[in-house]
Structures are given as structure tokens and as C-alpha cells.
Amino acid sequence: MTHPRTPLHVEIKDEADRTVAEAEVTTADGPEGTVRTSMHAKDAYVPPGPRASLVDTVMDLPEVQASDRVEAAIPYGDGESLQRLRERTEDSQARVAGATTLFDANIPSSRRPDGEGPADGQPTDSEQPRHE
């Protein structure tokens, strides 16, 4: 039986070094498990970009890349995160549960070679990810 690791906290910051979006990410010990994440923006209004950057940052974590599936909880109505998750995964399903959208999908088996980042959606200088 595998035990979850301590959750990893990921933040996207704006040009004033304020956190604009964040996620908690938990993976099972060992490869080929399911990663669980909860993502949200800090404020009701966040300009386009940081939510997609948060998804990219989470999906590019080595622990996530080594997993087979992702289960994400995002606020209902967060179309930017939902769209980016669909772009980064396969065989996705989303369903509403109150004020949350629950997203389940397979993580593509064709991993990027080490050192390569996403083709698009990379954080700008003003949207730097931070892991704690």
C-alpha cells in the first residue's frame, strides 16, 4: 500500500511579488500513481495567464510527470484552468460538485525530455512559480 507524500505547495506570483494563483499537489509514493491537486486563484478576478501558468507548473512537476493520472479540483467557472488541463491531458472528464469542478484525466505517456519546458504557456517574468 502506498502512502501519500506531504503535499507540495505551488504559487504563481505577479510583478509585485503577490501570489495570484496557488495549488496543493499530492502524489502517491512511487511512479505510475494518481496525482491529486487543488488549484485556485487568490482573488475573484485574475487577468488571463496565471491560471494556465499554474496548470503548466503543476503538470511539469517531476512527480506529476511520473504519474499516470491526475485528479484536480478547481473552482466552478474557471474556464482557463479547465481548458489548459484538457490540453495537457488525455481522456478527460469534468463534473460539477457544488462550487467546484472535479477533473479526472490520464497524463500522456509521452513525456518531454529532461530540460524541455512547455511549448507555450510558460510563466512570464511577472508570473514566476514558487514551490514550498
Our count of domains for the chain comes to: 1
Identify whether 66 is part of a domain: yes
The answer to whether position 3 is within a domain reads no
Taking the C-alpha atoms of residue 115 and residue 105, their distance in angstroms, rounded to an integer, is: 24
Give me the CATH number covering residue 103: 3.40.630.30
Please check whether residue 76 lies inside any domain of the structure.
Answer: yes
pLDDT in tens, 80-118: 999 999 999 999 999 999 999 999 999 998 654 444 444
Read off the pTM.
0.78
Q: Establish if 103 belongs to a structural domain.
A: yes
pLDDT at residue 114, as a whole number:
44
Q: For cell 479547465, name the residue.
A: 82
Q: What is the pLDDT of residues 38-71, one digit of tens each?
A: 999 998 788 899 999 999 999 999 999 999 999 9
- Do the beta carbons of residue 129 and residue 12 sit within 8 Å? yes
Q: Is residue 115 assigned to a domain?
A: yes
Structural domain containing residue 55: 8-124
Which residues are registered as beta bridge partners of 35? 27, 70
- Planar angle of CA 31, 34, 35, nearest 5 degrees: 100
Residue 130 lies in a domain: no
